[in-house]
Amino acid sequence: MTDYLSTGNLPDDYAELAKTVRDFAQNVVAPVAAKHDEEHSFPYEVVAGMANMGLFGLPFPEEYGGMGGDYFALCLALEELGKVDQSVAITLEAGVSLGAMPVYRFGTEEQKQAWLPQLTSGQALGAFGLTEAGGGSDAGATKTTARLDDGHWVINGSKQFITNSGTDITKLVTVTAVTGGTPDKPEISAILVPVPTDGFIAEPAYNKVGWNASDTHPLSFDDVRVPEENLLGERGRGYANFLRILDEGRIAIAALSVGAAQGCVDESVKYAKERSAFGRPIGKYQAIEFKLARMEARAQAARTAYYDAAALMLAGKPFKKEAAVAKMVASEAAMDNARDATQIHGGYGFMNEYAVARHYRDSKILEIGEGTTEVQLMIIAREMGV
């Protein structure tokens, strides 16, 4: 993959996928993005379209209903969707890398057969229940508990900011919970919770600054009972396994962020050619030219970073540092480009019907979700041996 760190040099299969998703994003997603954002409504019709295209199954083997592709293919799809609607892009990202991937990576064969065909088809969504009110960046400070009772796990606790957890097609939430150990060294395991299950509640959705068409809820667990065999992976390895999932997910978030950054470039170039001031298009003024050039440079640099991280991951090489670099660089590029794009658009950039206004509201969470910028800096420093 390092031989084609430019979108112009993608192999035919990747290039065709990117074009197909780009056409879908422009013709299906973009026309309804403002409506769903304004109404805070989940885009079921768009999700159904992505399911029909096989996007939820991109990185999974055909034996589990997948498309037989790889994680880089997923990233290309996320980049194209992120250009026009981050809510739709994060729905796909969370459904694949956070919903289905833990089952694929750590599940038993029985669990894979039971869950992956539903999740890879996009007919059902899975969610990733990690974050809690007192444990965001400190995910190891889990307070949710699970104890064994007569062959069942009994789960009590709560989770916060969980994507895809309360839709009509949500069928699974994977939860991290303390299953033993000591207060100083808790044993954290991952457990599959089917939806619906008695005692599990997706509380009312959040009123968010952005990602308004993305489904996000706090969750509560009140004596939720699931079979003992719903343990995902080894007992006590839940936290460590989910850290691996987050490493992969950071590449995906980087790809989404690159899409957002590039979307801001594309909208701004178009606007700079159309909008005139003092007798000529504003793109002819050096102040705007330089701003656009910096925006393009950020997007290209961030794209190279996530391509590099994905190449290492697919080659089976260590990629933790590169994933953190990509996530940090790309999320900052998205936020910086959204700010510049809004400035270029002037008053129109402050109007929600304009895509750059949505990017301005949406992009901030990219610097927070799946590891804040500060967490990425810690990871990078540690991987450097500091």
Residues 121, 122, 124, 128: is their CA dihedral positive or negative? positive
Given a contact cutoff of 8 angstroms between Cβ atoms, the answer to whether 338 and 363 are in contact is yes
CA distance 261 to 76: 14
Could you say which of 109, 370, 374, 383 is catalytic?
370
**Which of helix, strand or coil describes residue 158?**
strand
CB-based burial, 177-207: b 16+ in 10 Å, e otherwise: bbbeeeeeebebbbbbbebeeebbbbeebbe
Both tokens of residue 297?
Answer: 């440079």
Report which secondary-structure segment, H or E, holds 174: strand 170-181
Both tokens of residue 349?
Answer: 């950039």
Q: What is the largest CA-CA distance in the chain?
A: 79
What lies within 8 Å, CB to CB, of 253 at 6+ separation is 93, 327, 330, 331, 366, 369, 370
Phi, psi angles (nearest 5°) of residue 112: -65, -45
Given a contact cutoff of 8 angstroms between Cβ atoms, the answer to whether 71 and 313 are in contact is yes
Both tokens of residue 129?
Answer: 């229940």
| H-helix segments, the chain | 12-24, 30-39, 44-53, 71-84, 86-93, 101-106, 109-121, 238-274, 286-314, 320-345, 355-362, 373-383
- Residue 370: active-site member: yes
CA distance 34 to 110: 41
CA distance 60 to 50: 15
Given a contact cutoff of 8 angstroms between Cβ atoms, the answer to whether 302 and 250 are in contact is no
Catalytic residues: 370
